[in-house]
């Protein structure tokens, strides 16, 4: 197969676009599409300070790399979650992040959860068996990312979520027809509170495979293992199902997502504001929450403001 | 396991309801639920003449049986589609319908497509290879059912669609986020034109397994084979996927459907009327259509009113 642009040997075939490309033109197209997404959704300008949530996986390292390459004002933020199961998940991912920083000279701040809060994810999983690990870990990461952005002068938190992540989440929300979640899902979520940063997903339209190729073609080494706690997560089942559908009809995922966004715009945006409880300030840490004490403070067991160490 | 009602030995375990029942109480519950659905959606009263679309499968024979048993004013209508592939699909299904009629004394009119239109489904499939067989067959069945209802004085056509059918269709419509289809999907579709009968699905909340058990427990013999033309149909893939989800979380299908109906009511019913093209009369047969000549007349090759034989 030949590259559609230069007729040299193609290295990539994107079935969903029926498009063959060489390495160079794949990278060029990938970056063009991502930059288009950033502009289309007015995610941020090259001047805005942007905090990139980094995990050591391909998606977050690749988005940090791409933004830095194109002159965006980025800083990475890595939370060492202290997950030592499997291959030593957190140690390996931290090594990947440090090697990335070293190789490309892009700054990433490391935030050691255990050191700062005397508590790592395995402790939470162990003490709160009735809760799903991914749900608790999500609370911790979302809180700290937002806290870092708000206290560090960043208006937006960028994550590496790709199309496969987005459609798996959308699939779950659709199975429950959850209007409140559906109305908020998309590549960009604006801030709705002075202490709540906007959230942006520049890779929302790029498939997992495309992101992996982009990372590999740019010499980005990343952690390939799944988190050991994610085993049996519903999102993994949803991804398998969506892969089956994509295999049968290439382009299904992209269509599902794009048509949803059109539906959201047309149908859900006109809805009267959902009766979401108003945001107030957590009595312990002061960050926005719908309850008296926010989910993070309850999770890490902070009871009074004096216990806030960070 | 014991029947929750009478403590005799249970014959059925409904995982989605975590409910074990003996044969008698299963049948009692099944009928109660179906009658509740009929009343809740104001589908029809015991006096209304109701046309039941009968295929020879479990769903349509069971719904005809249940309605007749409870005193509804029903007549079955079976279209012999002339599908001779596989085991002789149409001959076998027709035999099942005739045996049913004989055994229970419930009237079913037989409509032989080939005899009336000099054309059977295999002819259509053979001549129009670019079209999906199930789509053409659907056009033929919907048209003839509606034609029979309208010309025979029935205000409503009942079909045996069960929960598994409904969620597979919903799944497909949701993958495309097709507002027009989503806004119209549900257990009851009222008439929107004097020559268009209402459509009712009294089994919409009963799973395929429940309907099969109901049919078997009532001595209804039915055709078990899939139509040979349905091989590879997307609806079969969707059903497999939904079975995987149900297996993992019993009750997923019912929740998906119920939550969708609540969403439809809350979100889609408030939409300004979709810009569906207005209904007019087919210049050949006079039945409602959005085009000059309706899909059925185009399919069977009727060009002028004089060619209408039925």
**Which is more confidently placed, A26 or A126?**
A26
Query: For B263, which of A179, A252, A256 is closest by C-beta distance?
Result: A179
- Asked if A111 and A80 touch (Cβ cutoff 8 Å), the reply is yes
Q: Give the pLDDT score at A161.
A: 97
Looking at residue B13, what DSSP letter applies?
Answer: E
Res A113: pLDDT: 86
How do strand A198-200 and strand A188-189 relate by DSSP bridges? antiparallel
User: Given a cut of 90, is residue A10 above it in pLDDT?
Assistant: yes
Residues 188-247 of B with CB under 8 A from A: 234, 237, 241, 244-245
Per-residue confidence band for A145, with pLDDT thresholds at 50, 70 and 90: very high
Separate counts of helices (H) and strands (E) for chain A = 12, 10
**Which residues does chain B have within 8 Å of residue A263's beta carbon, measured at their own beta carbons?**
177, 179
Whether the pLDDT of residue B310 is over 60: the answer is no
pLDDT at B28: 98
Distances in whole angstroms, Cα of residue B282 to Cα of each of B61, B145, B196, B209, B255: 32, 16, 13, 40, 40
Size of chain A in residues: 310
Instruction: Write out residues 267-296 of B within 8 Å (CB-CB) of A.
Output: 267-268, 271
Structure tokens belonging to residue B145: 């059912």
The percentage of chain B sitting over the pLDDT mark of 70, rounded to a whole number, equals 95
**Confidence band (pLDDT; 50, 70, 90) for A306?**
low
Does B143 touch chain A if contact means CB atoms closer than 8 Å? no
A255 contacts B244? CB cut-off 8 A: no
Any chain A CB within 8 A of the CB of B32?
no
The one-character DSSP state at B305 is G
Nearest-Cα distance to chain B for A65, in Å, is 33
Contact A253, A16 (CB under 8 A): yes
What pLDDT shows up at residue B280?
Answer: 92
Local confidence band at B47 (pLDDT 50, 70, 90 cut-offs)? very high
The predicted pLDDT at position A303 comes to 74
Interchain contact, A248 vs B237, CB within 8 Å: yes
| pLDDT band for position A78 (cuts 50, 70, 90) | very high
What the block records as the tokens of B142 is 């919907």
Q: Which of A185, A267, A270, A272 to mutate to test the interface with B (most CBs of B within 10 A)?
A: A267
Average pLDDT along chain B: 92
Tell me what pLDDT residue B234 has. 87
Determine the pLDDT at residue B307.
58
CA-only gyration radius of chain A, Å? 20
- Closest partner residue to A176 (CB to CB) among B179, B259, B271 is B259
**Residue A118: band (very low, low, confident or very high) from pLDDT cuts 50, 70, 90:** confident
Q: pLDDT per residue over A218-235, tens digit each?
A: 999 999 988 888 877 888
pLDDT at B230 over 90: no
CA distances from A52 to A55, A107, A145, A216 (A): 10, 10, 9, 20
Tell me how many residue pairs between chain A and chain B have CB atoms under 8 A apart.
Answer: 51
Among the listed ranges A183-192, A244-253, B109-118, B251-260, which one has the minimum average pLDDT value?
B109-118
| Nearest residue of A to residue B252, measured between CA atoms | A175
Confidence of residue B86 (pLDDT cuts 50, 70, 90): low
Nearest to B256 among A175, A259, A266 (CB): A175
pLDDT for A133: 84
A151: pLDDT strictly greater than 80:
yes
Contact B113, B125 (CB under 8 A): no
- Interchain proximity B260–A179, CB inside 8 Å: no
> Rounded mean pLDDT of B18-24?
96
Whether A245 and B267 lie within 8 Å, measured CB to CB: no
Q: Nearest C-alpha of chain A: how many angstroms from B179?
A: 7
Tell me, what's the pLDDT at B72?
98
Contact B248, A237 (CB under 8 A): yes
Helical residues (DSSP H) of A80-162, grouped into ranges: 89-104, 113-117, 121-127, 133-152
**Where does residue A9 rank: exposed (0-12), middle (13-18), buried (19+ CB within 10 A)?**
exposed
CA of A16 to nearest chain B CA: how many angstroms apart? 15
Mutate to test the interface with A, among B170, B177, B242 (most CBs of A within 10 A): B177
Q: Which of A174, A255, A263 sits opposite B179 (nearest CB)?
A: A263
pLDDT digits (tens, 9 = 90+) for A160-179: 999 999 999 999 999 999 98
Domains plus CATH for chain A?
Answer: 29-276 (3.40.50.620), 277-310 (no CATH)
Q: Which spans in chain A are helix H?
A: 23-40, 58-69, 89-104, 113-117, 121-127, 133-152, 163-175, 179-184, 208-217, 234-248, 252-263, 295-300
ipTM over 0.85: yes
pLDDT for the residue numbered A252: 96
Model pLDDT, residue B84? 83
Instruction: Please report which confidence band the pLDDT of residue A275 belongs to, taking 50, 70 and 90 as the band edges.
Output: low
Of B244, B255, B267, the CB nearest to A179: B267
Contact A256 B175 (CB under 8 A): yes
> Which residues in chain B touch residue A255, judged by CB atoms under 8 angstroms apart?
175-176
pTM for the model: 0.90
Residue of B nearest to A252 (CA): B175
- In chain A, the percentage of residues whose pLDDT exceeds 90 is 72
Ranges A48-57, B34-43, B112-121, B210-219: which has the least confidence: B112-121
Closest Cα in chain A to B262: A177
Candidate from A177, A248, A263 with C-beta closest to B259: A177
Cα–Cα nearest to B69, from B219, B187, B190, B223: B219
Report the residue count for chain B: 310
Of B175, B177, B179, the CB nearest to A252: B175
What is the Cα–Cα distance from B98 to B110, expressed in whole angstroms? 9
């Amino acid at each position: 197969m030949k590259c559609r642009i230069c007729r040299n040997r193609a290295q990539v075939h994107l079935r969903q676009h029926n498009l063959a490309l060489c390495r160079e033109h794949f990278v060029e197209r990938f970056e063009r599409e991502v930059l288009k997404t950033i502009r289309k959704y007015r995610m941020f300008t090259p001047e805005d300070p942007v905090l990139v949530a980094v995990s050591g996986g391909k998606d977050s390292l690749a988005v940090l790399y791409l933004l830095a390459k194109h002159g965006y004002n980025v800083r990475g933020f890595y939370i060492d979650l202290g997950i030592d199961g499997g291959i030593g998940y957190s140690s390996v991912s931290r090594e990947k992040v440090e090697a990335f920083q070293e190789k490309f000279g892009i700054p990433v701040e490391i935030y050691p959860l255990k050191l700062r809060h005397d508590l790592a994810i395995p402790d939470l999983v162990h003490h709160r068996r009735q809760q799903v690990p991914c749900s608790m870990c999500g609370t911790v990461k979302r809180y700290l990312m937002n806290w870092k952005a708000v206290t560090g002068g960043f208006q937006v938190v960028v994550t590496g979520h790709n199309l496969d992540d987005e459609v798996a989440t959308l699939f779950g929300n659709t199975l429950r027809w959850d209007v409140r979640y559906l109305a908020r899902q998309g590549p960009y979520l604006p801030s709705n509170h002075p202490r709540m940063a906007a959230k942006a997903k520049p890779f929302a339209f790029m498939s997992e495979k495309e992101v992996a190729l982009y990372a590999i073609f740019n010499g980005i080494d990343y952690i390939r293992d799944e988190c050991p706690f994610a085993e049996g997560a519903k999102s993994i089942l949803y991804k398998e199902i969506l892969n089956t559908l994509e295999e049968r009809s290439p382009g299904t995922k992209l269509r599902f997502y794009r048509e949803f966004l059109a539906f959201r715009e047309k149908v859900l945006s006109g809805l009267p504001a959902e009766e979401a409880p108003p945001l107030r300030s957590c009595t312990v840490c002061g960050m926005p929450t719908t309850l008296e004490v926010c989910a993070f403070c309850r999770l890490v067991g902070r009871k009074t403001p004096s216990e806030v160490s960070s």
